[in-house]
Chain A
Amino acid sequence: ILNVEQSPQSLHVQEGDSTNFTCSFPSSNFYALHWYRWETAKSPEALFVMTLNGDEKKKGRISATLNTKEGYSYLYIKGSQPEDSATYLCAFTGANNLFFGTGTRLTVIP
Chain B
Amino acid sequence: DAMVIQNPRYQVTQFGKPVTLSCSQTLNHNVMYWYQQKSSQAPKLLFHYYDKDFNNEADTPDNFQSRRPNTSFCFLDIRSPGLGDAAMYLCATSKDFGGLEQFFGPGTRLTVL
Contacts and interface: CB of A to CB of B under 8 A. Distances in A.
SS class of chain A's interface: helix, strand, loop or mixed? Answer: loop
Q: Kindly state the interface size class of chain B when it binds its partner.
A: 20 to 34
A100 B43 CA distance: 6
SS class of chain B's interface: helix, strand, loop or mixed? Answer: loop
A46 B101 contact: yes
A51 B106 contact: no
Residue of A34, A46, A98 with highest tally of chain B CB at under 10 A: A98
B71 interface: no
Q: Kindly state the interface size class of chain A when it binds its partner.
A: 20 to 34
Interface in B30-57: 35, 40-45, 48, 57
Nearest to A92: B99
Given A49-B100, A96-B99, 12 more contacts: A1-B59, A32-B99, A42-B106, A89-B42, A89-B43, A95-B97, A97-B45, A97-B57, A99-B42, A99-B45, A100-B43, A100-B44
Interface of A: 1, 4, 31-32, 34, 36, 41-46, 49, 51, 89, 93, 95-103
3 A-B pairs with least C-beta separation: A32-B99, A93-B99, A100-B42
Interface of B: 3-4, 35, 40-45, 48, 57, 59, 90, 97-107
